[in-house]
A = this chain, B = another copy of it.
Amino acid sequence: MVNSLVRHRILPWRRAFSSTTPRRLIKPISELPDRTKPAYLQRPQNQLLSLQWPSPPRNILITKKKRTPGITDSLIEYSQHLHSTYPAINIILEPTSAAEVHERVPFPVYTYTEPPSDSLSPEHLGEKTDLVCTLGGDGTILRASSLFAHSALVPPILSFAMGTIGFLGEWKFKEYKRAFREVYMSGSRDAYEKLESPDPELETSSAPLDEVDKYSTAPLDATTTTTTPPLTYSSIRGKSLGSSRPARILLRNRLRVGVFMPDGTRINSGHSDTYALNEVIVHRGSSPHLKIISVYVGNRFLTEAVADGMIISSPTGSTAYSLSSGGSIVHPLVPSLLLTPICPRSLSFRPLVLPANTPITLRLGEKNRGREVEVSIDGKRISDGIGVGMEVRVLGERVRNSAKEWCGGVPSIVRGVVGMEEREEDHWVGGLNALLKFNYPFGDQDKDERG
Contacts and interface: CB of A to CB of B under 8 A. Distances in A.
A435 interface: yes
A27 to B, nearest CB: 32
Contacts of A432: 302-303, 352
Interface of A is mostly: loop
Interface string A317-357: 01001011111111101111010011111111111111101
Contacts of A327: 328
A448 B331 contact: no
A438 interface: yes
A303 B439 contact: yes
A208 interface: no
A318 B286 CA distance: 22
Contact of A346 (B330, B425, B442): B442
A329 B351 contact: yes
Interface stretch (A127-135, A144-152, A160-168, A178-186): A160-168
B439 A305 contact: yes
A203 interface: no
Contact of A286 (B285, B324, B343): B285
Given A165-B445, A353-B330, A447-B165, A321 B348 contact: no
Contact of A343 (B318, B324, B355, B439): B324
Nearest to A161: B448
A420 interface: yes
Interface in A275-326: 285-286, 288-289, 297-298, 300, 302-308, 315, 318, 321, 323-326
Given A164-B443, A351-B329, A450 B430 contact: yes
B448 A165 contact: yes
A441 interface: yes
Copies in the complex: 4
B439 A349 contact: yes
B374 A351 contact: no
B451 A417 contact: yes
A297 B352 CA distance: 23
Contacts of A10: none
Interface in A412-449: 415-417, 420, 423, 425-427, 429-445, 447-449
A435 B442 contact: yes
Given A348-B347, A351-B328, A437-B440, A380 B447 contact: no
B335 A334 contact: yes
A61 B273 CA distance: 50
Contacts of A357: 47
Contact of A440 (B285, B343, B346): B346
Interface of A: 47, 163-167, 172, 285-286, 288-289, 297-298, 300, 302-308, 315, 318, 321, 323-331, 333-336, 338, 341-355, 357-358, 374, 376, 379-381, 415-417, 420, 423, 425-427, 429-445, 447-451
Given A286-B286, A335-B335, 13 more contacts: A165-B445, A165-B448, A172-B448, A288-B376, A300-B423, A303-B438, A315-B353, A328-B350, A331-B352, A334-B336, A336-B353, A346-B437, A347-B348
10 tightest A-B CB contacts, nearest first: A347-B348, A417-B451, A328-B328, A286-B286, A324-B343, A349-B439, A430-B450, A348-B348, A330-B353, A288-B376
